Amino acid sequence: MRQAFVHEAVVGMAPDGDAGAPGAAITVALCGHWEHEPPCPLAPHHTAAERVGGEVRLRVLFAAEPAAEAEVRGRIDAGLARACLDGPDGVTTRWHLKVAGPGVVREDEAGPAERLIQA
């Protein structure tokens, strides 16, 4: 049975970089492309991005079978480690991964987590 997990990361990015690009790179790593028909093939997920100065803080809420947790986290890290994404407008956004690792599902994420588990 699927469970909800969180993966957090911080990337350094130029102020004019697309803060959504690292989240799109995560979706590419998990699903093959940022635009795809639901459901997500490996792990339904949602990525929140918050720009703070020269950093973008990412929080990925995902649902997966416990046996797949390590693979999902590895793919998230691999997507972020690519450090760039060519957007649909042809503009390349670059970043550098500073830190990434497991987080804890917050109380305010209980509803979204349950929706991902059921997806």
Cα–Cα distance, 94 to 22 (Å, whole number):
9
Distances (CA, A) of 27 to 24, 37, 62, 85: 5, 12, 11, 11
CB 116 within 8 A of CB 45: yes
- The series of mean pLDDT values per 10 residues for the chain, 119 residues long, is 97 95 96 84 95 97 98 98 93 97 98 96
pLDDT of residue 33: 86
Domain parsing of the chain, residue ranges: 3-107
Report pLDDT for 78. Answer: 97
Per-residue pLDDT at 48: 98
Which residues are within 8 A (CB) of 23 and not within 5 positions of it... i.e. 6 or more apart? 47, 48, 49, 58, 60
Q: Which element (helix H / strand E) includes 78? A: helix 69-81
**Cα atoms in the 13 Å half-sphere on the side-chain side of 52:** 7
Per-residue pLDDT at 39: 83
The correct answer on CATH 3.30.1330 for the domain covering 3-107 is no
Cis geometry, peptide bond prior to residue 39 (ω within 30 degrees of 0): yes
Structure tokens at 112: 């979204």
pTM score above 0.85: yes
Between β-strands 45-52 and 55-64, what pairing exists: parallel, antiparallel or unpaired? antiparallel
